[in-house]
Amino acid sequence: MAKIKIKFRGRLSASSLMEAVIAMVIMVLVFGIAMMIYTNVTRLSLSVRKIRAQAILQELLYQTAKNSSKDNQYIQVDEFEIEQKVSPFGSGTGLIQIELTAFGENHQQLAQLQQIISNANEAH
């Protein structure tokens, strides 16, 4: 068998260290961009949950104003725990203050709604 000899006319430089550094820089840039995208997605999903919690609070406020039962209570709606506090507003005014607060997991407050309404039971 004939031996084939390959002759290099130029000098080969050992650039493996430089290639490794460049590869690491590219990987860090890609990882950084991925983390920014992940952060934006999680931030947007939290704001969607806040909007949804606010809409649920509006609906509960409407139902509470319609119903004659106005007690302090905890209500579980979907993944939200809602705290309802009802207290008289002023003395002898026939007004009550309703405060609704929506909590997510880890008891993190997502939305709060307060309104003063007329108490139909005490109206003259």
Output the pTM of the full model: 0.58
Residue 114 lies in a domain: yes
Mean pLDDT confidence for 60-83: 83
Q: What are the structure tokens assigned to 13, written together?
A: 């430089």
Phi/psi of residue 88, each to 5°?
A: -65, 145
**Looking up tokens 């650039």, which residue turns up?**
15
- Whether 62 contacts 84, CB under 8 Å: no
Would residue 116 count as lying in a domain?
Answer: yes
- Whether 5 maps to a domain, the answer reads no
User: What digits encode the pLDDT tens for the residues 22-65?
Assistant: 999 999 999 999 999 998 888 777 788 888 899 999 998 888 87
Q: Give domain status of residue 2, yes or no.
A: no
- Is 94 a member of any domain? yes
Instruction: Count how many domains the chain has.
Output: 1
* Host domain of residue 72: 16-122
Residue 1 inside a domain? The answer is no
* Residue 53 falls inside a structural domain: yes
Would you tell me how many other CB atoms lie within 10 Å of the CB of residue 92? 7
